[in-house]
Structures are given as C-alpha cells and as structure tokens.
C-alpha cells in the first residue's frame, strides 16, 4: 500500500523541476509547470491506483482508483464508476458514479449518478440523485436552512431539558 501526502500545487513548484527524470530543457514546457492552477485543469487517479493520505487540489480531480484519507478540491470532484473513496471530501462541486464512505461537503452541486453507492453524511447546497443511486446517511442542504434546522433542534432539546427538570422538581416537592 502506498501512503502519501499529495498536493497538486507542490507538484508544480520549482523544486519538482529539480527531479532529473521530469526536468525539461524546453523553456515553454517549464513555464507551463509554474502556471497557476485553474478549475479547468484536471488531476487524475486512474483505476488500479491506491492512495492513502491527504490530497489537496487547486483544480478539478477525477478518482477512478481507490483513496483512503482526505480530499480537498477547489474545483469539481468526479468519482468514476471504478472509483472508491473512504474518508473526508471537501470540494466545490461533485459528480459521484462510484462509492464513497465517510463525509462529503460540497459548496455547490452534488450529483449522484445511477451507479453511485454512498454510506456517508452529506453537506451540500444542492443535491441531484439519479434513479438507481444508493445513499445511506444524513444530508444537510442549503445555506440558511442549515442554521434554522440547527437552531430548531437546539430549541427542542432545551425545551425537553426544561420539561424534564420541571417534572423532576414537581416530583421532589410531592415527596
């Protein structure tokens, strides 16, 4: 099993160019490696690849292999039908065709394709689920709705607590 802490930004740092087998003498190729990442660029973990650790991407990322750990992507995360993630995912948008176990937080739209299998807790603004997708866990959606639900739950808990205290006090006075 390969264990690694991986950052797409660190791959493009000038230190990476010092590795002989990747060093280029072509000035235009070298300039490309130091460009700022944009969400239109894609990182890819292909089928048969297993990574354990932390992945940080300043752009889009596609997982067709297996990842155990944390994935943070500033762009879109795509988990292909052969892809599998166990851990925490934080991204801008996501399309899931494979499996995910853990937690996922999506700032935009989470799309579960028909082959998706999720055992996780979801936090997202918008959720799209195709027929055939399987999801087990809890889901929190929207912006202000999350705060309203949390406040409502806290109010209910406080009310229950006060009610049980009142009952206890009443029973004590009766004795």
pLDDT tens-digit series, residues 64-105: 999 999 999 999 999 999 999 999 999 999 999 999 999 999
CB 104 within 8 Å of CB 89: yes
Given a contact cutoff of 8 angstroms between Cβ atoms, the answer to whether 92 and 110 are in contact is: no
* Number of domain units in the chain: 2
Helix (H) or strand (E) holding 44: strand 42-45
- Considering the domain architecture, whether residues 136 and 152 belong to the same structural domain is answered as no
Shared domain for 110 and 153, answered yes or no, is no
Residue 107: what pLDDT? Answer: 94
- Same domain, residue pair 37 and 117: yes
Radius of gyration of the chain (CA): 23
Do 120 and 167 sit in the same domain of this protein?
no
Pair 136, 157 in one domain: no
Q: What is the pTM of this model?
A: 0.61
What pLDDT shows up at residue 41?
73
124 vs 161, residue with greater confidence? 124
Regarding whether 33 and 45 lie in a shared domain, the answer is yes
Q: Which residues form the domain of 38?
A: 3-142
Q: Which residues of 118-144 are buried (b: 16+ CB within 10 A; e: fewer)?
A: bebebbbeebebeeebebeeeeeeeee
pLDDT band, very low/low/confident/very high, at 42 (cuts 50, 70, 90): confident
3 state SS of 26? coil
Q: Which candidate, 13, 70, 14, 76, places its Cα nearest to that of 41?
A: 76
Q: Find out whether 43 and 56 touch, Cβ atoms under 8 Å.
A: no
Please tell me whether residues 84 and 138 are part of one structural domain: yes
Are residues 60 and 82 both part of a single domain?
yes
Report pLDDT digits (tens) over 138-156.
999 986 334 444 455 566 5
Question: Do residue 92 and residue 169 come from a single domain?
Answer: no
Same domain, 115 and 147: no
């Amino acid at each position: 099993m390969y264990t690694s802490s991986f950052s797409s930004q660190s791959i493009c740092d000038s230190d990476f160019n010092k590795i002989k087998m990747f060093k280029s003498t072509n000035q235009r190729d070298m300039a490309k490696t130091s460009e700022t990442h944009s969400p239109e660029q894609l990182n890819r973990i292909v089928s048969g690849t297993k990574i354990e650790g932390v992945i940080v991407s300043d752009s889009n990322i596609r997982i067709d292999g297996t990842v155990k750990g944390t994935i943070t992507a500033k762009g879109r995360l795509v988990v292909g039908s052969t892809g599998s993630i166990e851990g925490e995912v934080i991204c801008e948008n996501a399309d899931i065709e494979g499996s995910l176990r853990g937690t996922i937080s999506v700032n935009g739209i989470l799309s579960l394709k028909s082959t998706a299998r999720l055992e996780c807790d979801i936090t997202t603004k918008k959720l799209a689920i195709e027929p055939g997708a399987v999801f087990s866990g809890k889901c929190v959606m929207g912006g202000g709705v999350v705060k309203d639900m949390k406040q409502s739950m806290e109010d209910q808990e406080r009310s229950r607590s006060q009610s049980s205290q009142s009952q206890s006090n009443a029973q004590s006075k009766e004795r």
